Each structure stands twice: as structure tokens, then as C-alpha cells.
Amino acid sequence: MTAIPPPPAHAVERPRLRSRLDAALTAPLSVIVAPAGSGKTVLLSQWVAAHPELDFIWMSLEPADNDPRRFIDHLLAGVPRGAREVLDLGRPHALSDRALGRPVLDALVTVFRELPPVILVIDDLHALSGSQLLADLWWLADNLPDHTHLVLSSRVDFGLAWSDHRLRHSLLELRQTDLAFDEETSALLLERVAGAPVSSGTLAAVMERTEGWAAGVLLTGLGLRSQPDPELFARQLRGTDRLIAEYLSERALAQQEPARRDLLIRLSVLDRMCADLVESTMGVDDATALFDELERESLFLVALDRDREWFRFHPLFRELLRFRLRAQPGGRSTAILTAAAEWHLAHDDAPAAIDYLLEAHSWDRAVMVIAARGRDVVERSDTLTVSRWLESLPPEFRSTRPEVEILRGMLMMMNGDAARAEDVLRREADRTTSTPAETVVVQTYLAARVQFRPEPGVALRAAKAATDLLRQHPDLQPVELLGLTHPHLLRTAALTSGGRAHFLAGDLTAARDWFEQALDDPGAQYSLYRIHLLGALALLEVWCGRLGAASLASDEALALATDARLLSHPAPADAYLAAALVSIEHGSPSQAAVNIHEGELRAAANHRTQLMWIAHLARILDTSDPAMAEGRPTSTPPPLVADALEAALTRARRLERSSPHPIGYAFGHAVQRTWSPIAFEAVATALTEHRPDLARAQLDAAASERSETMPRATVEQLILRAWLETNQHDRDAGSAALVSALDLASRHGLVATFVRGGPEVIRMVADLPGAPSTFRTLVLERASLLRHARATSPELVEQLTDRELEILAYLPTRMTNVELAARCYVSPNTIKTHMAHIYRKLAVPNRNSAVARAQDLGLL
């Protein structure tokens, strides 16, 4: 947060404009749009000073605030720590390189809802020109709580949709014509700055040439201090506003002693200034006194913090100073930039140092500092900033530094810019002069594409190439890049990517082998990599049906993420999604929604589309309705997920029987020896359609999986075998197979497997002789809601899904859609869709009728 600037000593009160700002406080938004130097900031600071009884948060934006992470940190700096924790409690800033993202925006609304009435002033909005953050701010303007008032001040009219606010809220807009000084105001300002009253002729000349532009009036007043003929001086001003500002600024500089003028020009090299920095780089004895003098002389110095330790020049003034610096002999700015960089390095501010080194064209030194930053860059998700630094290096320089291009490709991959990353890394892989040490890094990060792009086989080949090189060259010593290129870390990363590739391709046995090798590698002791690895292993264990092992791996990953302060990092995404799938397989889908949300949030943070597909599948399994899953990724799903999605669609049609389809739908694939969700649905569909011959052919062809490593496949095959034998009137064989399925499933908690079989499977479980076991009772209880709907709603043509029944149960409470969405961990739009389905299936027009109809049918 920028300190709220006090009104300058020479500022003239604007009571009419302050009154208009006061009157607009009952509306959600006020905007001030006018050119630079129109007095926007001064007016707002006067308004704030006039209201000590009100709470304000002030943000003065800079171009660097285009970085969503910096923007959010900047904003939250002005929020009390207690309210700020809404965003800090394990929630990642799901930030892309362009926008905040809806989860963060929703959290910001929650933060402001927790605050007392507050006015949020965002000054210099034009610093975000071209940024998608503008759309985020407009969304906030529409959604901030009623007790929050937003003020946007900008040089540029971005064409935002002001009209809707004009109609709904009587939007206050102050523009150049509103801010322009009248004669009375200009006369008072000129007198204060020049130190003496001005004549009517001088005032008229100033008004004619400046048209009340505040900076023009102020700069004219500075120039008048030493003019023998003030009226002539004002009358001779010519040119556009930009030229007038440049001319008057020159006149302001002319008032300075040569040594002071030279110091101001040199100071313009610095983006931000503090006393110690200026004293160290400029040889100034007392920079604090210097800052006091510059403020008193109105030389455009802006305080950046409450303690007034850091300052910067007003951008217009700094531009003029830097123009003058460029006209001087070369080398002066380079020496200052280099000295400033070394000062920042000595004060542990590598980012500022790197910016100065890049501006000084000190490419080698900049790269050395960037590469040495260490793993904290990755752990703190600062990779976007490092990528920006590398992109600013000249291409001709990068082309001669393989380590720079490799690092650039690594960072692009981490940021989710996988296509460009792959291009960069493949160019390095194809270089004839590449060393084994360089190649192993390139192949390791090409393997990482498995999380971002389809075709897992491509990533697997790169993973194999990397591990082969590490085995063939045990003494490899790759160049140090962010602390991530030690051979142990490279081997762990490559093995993890290879395991993911096998998993996403559907080869679960090979995936387990790669993951176990990775766990045994010393690089797996690095917390960030271990979190990734344990989460990926947990997903594998869920797919295999080893829910206990999956929970242990997921819990260990999340506990480690908590201890290492990485819970809000993208790394735990796999672990969250595995925990969600465990809940679903245990038959408790309502407990999965939070973990799906958390996992999806982290996967989206760096565009890991393959994990996002798993989150999408989890939502379908959670709702038991393929049509209800939100946010289908736009990329190609991995084979593992594609098979599961097709199976889910087949199952939905099979269970609802609302859209009959031929047997060939489920058998669009050749009979498989490898068991899969499609194989399960093929057999179940055949049994449903009374084709035991097709069912037996698929069951007999499928290889029996080892129950200790693939219990879900074994349980599924036993369930289908029981169904087949029962339909073939061999009840003893059917019962024996079902008992075996229940026994194995109970050891792993595989409840949902029986429910997915449908009513026929549940009936067989219920009809087993003898007292039901605890697990058998759990299976029947989980299926009871669906069975109850069918048993008590014979009048319904189409039955309600589990999630629709869950929402139906809340309707008598009179919760709003927003409250229902929060309770069910979905969006309000999803609730609306569910409600529409409920109304259609119950044949009612509204909520009251739905409650009455559901009570008549025994559903409530």
C-alpha cells in the first residue's frame, strides 16, 4: 500500500469537488479520468484529509503492479492482518501471468466483507494499461459489499462499462473539465508557489495557455519566481500540453544551483530512493535533509511508505530529468545503475538489483544473480518475475548462453507456458554442441510437459532419456540453475514425470515402479518434490483401489506442505485431488467437494491441464451426473481420464435408461485384456441388455489383476462375475463371487464400486443370506438414497440424482442459491442448473411447488 499522500503545502482547497465526492459515498463507485497533472491525486488527498472519521485504503499503482502477485500483495498491505487471513489460510493465489482469477476475486470480496466501512482509492490506474487486471477491478466494482466504496483515478479512459453504474447508482465521474482550475483557484495557487500575487494580465495569460491544467499552473508558478516580466513569460508559452510541461519543468530545473541540478538528474536513474541508497550511490552526506528540501520546493517527490523512508520522483518530472541525463556524455547512468544494483544485493533485494543490472545492460552479471537466486523462486511462485527478466535479455545474448535458454525453458514450463517451453528446450536439445550435463536438464524439463500437454508418451521418452543419461554419466555436474539441477533432483523430477506419464497413459503397474524408484532417490527428500511425488502416488493408489495407501500418501503430502509452508503452492494439487477421490470411493462424495475445489485451484494456478482433467472427472463422479460437471478443460484429456469419462457417460445412460442405445455403444472398442472403466461398463451394459455371451467374453478375456496391487479391478471383476452367474441361475457361484468382492472391498473401503454397478448389484448385496457385515451395511446405506427415490417416486419419468436429492433436502430451509452453493461447495450457477433439473423432473414451476411435490412423493 502507498502511504496516503498529505496535501502539498501549496494546495488550494476544492470544496465543490469534495462535496461531489461526499455525495457519491452511497454508491459503490466513483471515477476520476483526466490527463496527467490535472490534480487528481491532490484532490483525493484533500478529500481524505477532510474525513479523519472515515477509513481509507490507498493504492498508488506502478507498472510493476501489472504482475498479479505484486498487485494482490500491494492491495493486501492496506488490509488489517486479521481480515487478510481470508486469503492466506492455505488458499493459493490462483494467479496466472495476466489476471487474478475468480477464486482470488471471491476471496477479496470476503476480505472486504469482514472489514468495517472503508473507501478504497486506487490512484494511477493507467499503470495497468493493457492488463487484464482492469477487468478484475471492474468485477470488484460490481461485487464489493455495500459498505465499501471504490474510487478509481486514471489518466486514461479505458472504456469500461460505466453506463451500467450510471443507470443503477448515479455514478460520479470527474473529468478534465471538472478538475480544471478556474481563475480564482489558479490565482491562489500561483500566489502560493511564486511567493507573490499575480496581475490580472498574468493570470489571464496563464489561463489561456494552460486552460486550467493544474500541473501547468503549478509549473508556471515555479517559473514565475525569477521572471522580471511574469505576464510576458506566461504569454509566450506555446505548444501542446506535453511541450508546455517540458518547457516549464526546464524552467523549474533552471532555478536550481548547478550542483543541485546535476544531483537531481543523477537521482532520476533510481526507481525508488531511500536515504542510505542515495548516500551510498551519489555521495550525498545527508539524504534525509535532501528529501525534506525537495518536498518543500515542490520538486515532485512522492513518499512511498508511512514512515517516509522510500521516495520516488513524479513520473513527469523524472522523465524530464532522464531526458537531460541522456543528453550528457555516456556512462554516467551505467555507473549509477551498477552501484544501485550492488547496494540492493547487499541488502538482500535481488529483484531490484536485477532490474538495475538489466537496465545497465550488465547481462552476464544479471544472469549470474538470477541463476543464483535458489529454490525460493520456485517455492514462492516467483517464476513469472524471473521469466520476465530472462525475456528482457537480448536474443543475441541468450543465443550464446545455453544455460540462459535452458533456464528460460525451465521457467516457462513451471509457469504453464508449456508449448513455448517445449520449443525453447527442443532447440537446446538439438544443438550439436550440447553437453550431456546440459542435455539431462533439457530432457528432465521436457518430461515435465506431462502435466501440461497431452500425449504422455512424449514426456515418457524424455524422462527415459534423462534417467538413462544420469545412469550412463554418474559424475555429471550440470550448471547450477535455481538450485534445481543437482543430479539427485534431476533424477527425482524425471522419475516422477515418467511415473505420471505411465499413469496418465493407463499403465498403472509401470507407474508404480517409476514412483517407487523416485521415492528411493535422495532427491525425494526435497520437500517440494516430495509433495509432488506423494500426491502423484496417491492418485495412482486411488485408481488401483488401495484407498488406505492413497490416504496415507495424500495426508503425508499435505502435512509436509503445511510444515514447509507450501500449502498454498500449486504442488499439493495432486494430493488434494487424491483425497477427493478417496472420499468418492468411500461412498462419501459430499466430503469430496472441498478437496476437488482446492486441487483444481492449485492445478489451474500454473495451467496443469492434465490434473485439471482429473479434477473435472472427480466432479462428475462427485455428482454422479456427467452433464453437471463445470469447467471442462479445453485441451485433450489424457487417455486414463478419457476412458473414465466415456465410462461415466455410458454408466449414466445405463442407470437412467432415459436414452436407450445399442450394445455396440459400450463395445465400440475391441475386447480388452487390460481392465479399465470402459471394460467394466461394457460388461455391465451387456448384462443390463441381457447379453450374457458378450459379458462373459469380456470377463474371460480380461487378465485377472493381482488383488494386492489392483484391488479395485479385482473387486469389479468379481461383482460382474456374480451378476453374470446370478443371471445364469447359478446363485451359489454368484453369491460366492459377491462375498469375495465384499471381503476384498472391505479391506480397502471400496464402497462406490458397488453403487456404480447399479440397482441390480445393490439388490444382490441386499439379498445375500446371513446377517449383513458392517461393510455390507455401509454399501446398502450409501445406495439407499438412490434406491429410496426409485421406490417412492414411481410417478417420476426421470429420477433425481444423488446431488439433486441432496439439494432438494435444503429447499424447505429457504437458503438462497448463494448459501446453497457455499453449503454444497459449488458455484451459484451450478445450483441454478441443479434447480432447473429438479423443477423439470418434478414438473413444477418454482421452489414452493417443488417442496410440495417432493413431500407428496415422499422425497422429503
- Cβ atoms of 779 and 845 within 8 Å: the answer is no
Q: Which of 272, 278, 248 is nearest to 351 (CA)?
A: 272
- Look at residue 241 and tell me whether its pLDDT is greater than 50: no
- Look at residue 659 and tell me whether its pLDDT is greater than 50: no
pLDDT at 16: 94
613/704 same-domain check: no
Q: Which three cell numbers stand for residue 254?
A: 533552471
- Cβ atoms of 61 and 155 within 8 Å: the answer is no
Partners of 301 in beta bridges: 313
- Look at residue 129 and tell me whether its pLDDT is greater than 70: yes
Partners of 31 in beta bridges: 152, 173
Domain assignment present for residue 289? The answer is yes
Report the distance separating Cα 271 and Cα 384, nearest Å.
Answer: 21
Q: Which of the four pLDDT bands, split at 50, 70 and 90, describes residue 788?
A: very low
Q: Which residues, including other chains, have CB under 8 Å from residue 248's CB and lie 6 or more apart?
A: 216, 219, 220, 222, 223, 237
Report the distance separating Cα 407 and Cα 403, nearest Å.
Answer: 6
The rounded radius of gyration (Å) of the Cα atoms in the chain is 34
* Total length of the chain: 860
pLDDT digits (tens, 9 = 90+) for 293-317: 887 665 767 788 878 899 988 665 7
Domain assignment present for residue 448? The answer is no
CA distances from 725 to 127, 355, 591, 617, 720 (A): 72, 73, 35, 32, 9
In single-letter form, the type of residue at position 174 comes to L
700/742 same-domain check: yes
722/850 same-domain check: no
Domain assignment present for residue 501? The answer is no
**What does pLDDT average to over the chain?**
84
132/151 same-domain check: yes
- Look at residue 660 and tell me whether its pLDDT is greater than 50: no
Partners of 120 in beta bridges: 57, 150
pLDDT at 165: 56
- Look at residue 533 and tell me whether its pLDDT is greater than 80: yes
pLDDT digits (tens, 9 = 90+) for 145-201: 989 999 999 877 766 555 565 556 677 889 877 888 899 998 998 888 888 888 888
250/302 same-domain check: no
Q: Which of the four pLDDT bands, split at 50, 70 and 90, describes residue 62?
A: confident
Q: Which three cell numbers stand for residue 790?
A: 426409485
Across 73-101, average pLDDT: 65
Domain assignment present for residue 547? The answer is yes
Q: Which of the four pLDDT bands, split at 50, 70 and 90, describes residue 239?
A: very low
Of the ranges 53-57, 368-372, 768-772, the best mean pLDDT one: 53-57
The SS3 of residue 199 is: coil
- Look at residue 396 and tell me whether its pLDDT is greater than 60: yes
Q: How many H helices and E strands in the chain?
A: 46, 7
77/166 same-domain check: yes
Give just the sign of the alpha carbon dihedral 480, 481, 482, 487: negative
Report the distance separating Cα 382 and Cα 61, nearest Å.
Answer: 20
Residue 421 CA, distance from chain mean position: 19
Q: Which of 370, 481, 506 is nearest to 425 (CA)?
A: 481
Cell 489561456 maps to which residue? Answer: 208
* Residues above pLDDT 90, as percent of the chain: 40
- Cβ atoms of 562 and 521 within 8 Å: the answer is no
pLDDT at 65: 84
pLDDT at 243: 43
Q: Which residues, including other chains, have CB under 8 Å from residue 464's CB and lie 6 or more apart?
A: 498
Of the residues 337, 361, 385, which one is the last residue of a structural domain? 361
The SS3 of residue 227 is: coil
pLDDT at 364: 92
Q: Which residues, including other chains, have CB under 8 Å from residue 26's CB and lie 6 or more apart?
A: none
Domain assignment present for residue 334? The answer is yes
In three-state form (DSSP H/G/I as H, E/B as E, the rest C), the secondary structure along 711-731 is HHHHHHHHHHHHHHHHHCCCH
First to last CA, the chain: 52
- Look at residue 670 and tell me whether its pLDDT is greater than 70: no
- Look at residue 70 and tell me whether its pLDDT is greater than 60: yes
pTM score above 0.75 = no
- Look at residue 785 and tell me whether its pLDDT is greater than 70: no
CA dihedral 737, 739, 740, 743 (to 10 degrees): 160
pLDDT digits (tens, 9 = 90+) for 542-558: 999 999 999 999 999 99
Residue 843 region by backbone torsions, left for phi larger than 0, else alpha for psi between -120 and 50, else beta = left
CA dihedral 59, 60, 63, 66 (to 10 degrees): 10
pLDDT at 247: 47
Q: Which of 36, 6, 40, 12 is nearest to 221 (CA)?
A: 12
Report the distance separating Cα 120 and Cα 141, nearest Å.
Answer: 10
* Residues above pLDDT 70, as percent of the chain: 86
534/557 same-domain check: yes
pLDDT digits (tens, 9 = 90+) for 584-624: 998 876 678 888 888 988 999 889 999 999 999 998 887 66
Q: How many domains does the chain have?
A: 6
- Look at residue 505 and tell me whether its pLDDT is greater than 80: yes
- Cβ atoms of 799 and 790 within 8 Å: the answer is yes
- Look at residue 765 and tell me whether its pLDDT is greater than 60: yes
Greatest alpha-carbon span in the chain: 117
pLDDT at 202: 84
Across 559-566, average pLDDT: 93
Q: What b/e string do you get for 20-51 counting C-beta neighbours within 10 Å, with b at 16 or more?
A: bbeebeebbbbbbbbbbbbbbbbbbbbbbeee
More confident residue, 773 or 374: 773
543/670 same-domain check: no
pLDDT at 845: 87
Report the distance separating Cα 38 and Cα 568, nearest Å.
Answer: 42
Report the distance separating Cα 539 and Cα 579, nearest Å.
Answer: 8
Q: Which three cell numbers stand for residue 449?
A: 510437459
pLDDT digits (tens, 9 = 90+) for 790-843: 434 567 777 777 677 778 877 887 778 887 777 666 678 888 888 888 888 888
Q: Which of the four pLDDT bands, split at 50, 70 and 90, describes residue 90?
A: very low
Domain assignment present for residue 832? The answer is yes
In single-letter form, the type of residue at position 589 comes to P
Q: Which residues, including other chains, have CB under 8 Å from residue 271's CB and lie 6 or more apart?
A: 312, 352, 355
pLDDT at 701: 84
Q: Which three cell numbers stand for residue 595?
A: 478437496
Q: Which of the four pLDDT bands, split at 50, 70 and 90, describes residue 221?
A: confident
Across 621-644, average pLDDT: 77
Among the listed ranges 97-101, 186-190, 593-597, 732-736, which one has the minimum average pLDDT value? 97-101
Domain assignment present for residue 535? The answer is yes
113/137 same-domain check: yes
Across 491-502, average pLDDT: 97
Across 475-486, average pLDDT: 90
194/167 same-domain check: no
- Look at residue 365 and tell me whether its pLDDT is greater than 70: yes
Q: Which of the four pLDDT bands, split at 50, 70 and 90, describes residue 117?
A: very high
CA–CA–CA angle 828, 831, 837 (5° rounding): 150
Across 666-677, average pLDDT: 65
Partners of 33 in beta bridges: 154, 175
Across 745-755, average pLDDT: 93
Of the ranges 107-111, 209-213, 622-626, the best mean pLDDT one: 107-111
246/266 same-domain check: no
Across 335-345, average pLDDT: 93
Report the distance separating Cα 757 and Cα 772, nearest Å.
Answer: 19
99/161 same-domain check: yes
486 secondary structure, DSSP code: S
Domain assignment present for residue 143? The answer is yes
- DSSP strand pairing (29-33 vs 148-154): parallel
More confident residue, 435 or 375: 435
Report the distance separating Cα 21 and Cα 672, nearest Å.
Answer: 72
DSSP 575-622: HHHHHHHHHHHTT-GGGTHHHHHHHHHHHHHTT-HHHHHHHHHHHHHH
Long-range CB contacts for residues 472-480, cutoff 8 Å, separation at least 24? 472/436, 473/436, 473/437, 473/440, 476/436, 476/437, 476/440, 477/437, 478/437, 478/438, 478/440, 478/441, 479/371, 479/403, 479/437, 479/438, 480/371, 480/372
By residue range, what is the domain housing residue 698? 640-766
Report the distance separating Cα 140 and Cα 825, nearest Å.
Answer: 22
- DSSP strand pairing (118-123 vs 56-60): parallel
pLDDT at 444: 96
The SS3 of residue 225 is: coil
Cell 465521474 maps to which residue? Answer: 173
Of the ranges 177-186, 332-341, 374-383, 439-448, the best mean pLDDT one: 439-448
pLDDT digits (tens, 9 = 90+) for 263-272: 988 998 999 9
More confident residue, 231 or 409: 409
In three-state form (DSSP H/G/I as H, E/B as E, the rest C), the secondary structure along 158-178 is CCCCHHHHHHHHCCEEEEHHH
Report the CATH number that the domain containing residue 845 is assigned in CATH.
1.10.10.10
Of the residues 314, 331, 361, which one is the last residue of a structural domain? 361
Of the residues 766, 794, 816, which one is the last residue of a structural domain? 766
